[in-house]
Amino acid sequence: MSHPFQAFLWVVYPYFMLGSFIFGTIIRFAFFHPSITAKSSEFLEKKHLIIGSILFHVGIIGVFFGHIAGIFIPKAWTDALGITNEMYHIFALSAGGVFGLMATVGVYMLCIRRFHDHRVFHASSTGDLLVILGLTAEITLGMLSSFLISPQVPDFNYRTTIAPWARGLFMFHPDYHLMMGIPFLYKCHVFFGLLIFGAFPYTRLVHAMTVPLHYIKRRFIVYRRRPNL
């Protein structure tokens, strides 16, 4: 690929997606707050929803924070603490494998449920279908990159390529050359991950920003049996 295209792919496109995420979220909360909801289909099918949803949410939270740690903790810091590259990767693959497997099983259960159960499918919007397909593709790409491609390319280290590039985005000095030599599936994983971030404010995913902390202090609701007349 030409260098101008690479520059667009790893400099312009990421800022466009991140800008869409930030400003889209602000606009959604400021002007369309009543539309922020996770429309439930529990009354249509409950068993697979509960299992898949718990696995997906617990898994994706672990995977998300694992990505944050992998990106924002430089290799030099762990080296200074005496943590070798092998030790780091063993821990990352072990923890990431557990949470990644949970997220994978959960998202596949939710995806199959969304498309296979005719009642759930017909009650779903186009956005619902695209979101679950996007999440399924992104998680699949991540698992394939980590556990299939990474062992085949032992010289590749995302901590010296993808992580510095990602940190450079937040420092407004990204080096797109770092992304040019990484395996193709990793590029796809990053590309679709940014696409999900860009689409985040305009889908049901935005409900993840509305943590119901007020429930902690909410008074209990007391139900009383209606007396027989």
Amino acid type, 189:
H
Residue 116, sorted as left (phi over 0), alpha (psi -120 to 50) or beta, turns out to be alpha
**Is 177 marked as a binding-site residue?**
no
Amino acid type, 165:
W
CB-CB contact of 114 with 129 (8 Å) = yes
| Residue 173 three-state SS | coil
**How far is Cα 198 from Cα 193, in angstroms, rounded to an integer?**
9
**How far is Cα 59 from Cα 2, in angstroms, rounded to an integer?**
37
Q: Which residue has the tokens 């937040």?
A: 170
**Is 57 marked as a binding-site residue?**
yes
- Report, in angstroms and rounded to the nearest whole number, the Rg of the chain calculated over CA atoms: 21
Which residues, other chains included, contact 74 with Cβ-Cβ below 8 Å and sequence gap of 6+?
Answer: 159, 163, 164, 167
| Residue 61 three-state SS | helix
**Is 122 marked as a binding-site residue?**
no
CB-CB contact of 149 with 183 (8 Å) = yes
Instruction: Count Cβ neighbours within 10 Å for each residue of 181-197 and write b for 16 or more, e otherwise.
Output: ebbebbbbbbbbbbbbb
**Is 207 marked as a binding-site residue?**
yes
Binding residues: 57, 67, 189, 207
Residues at the annotated binding site for heme b?
Answer: 57, 67, 189, 207
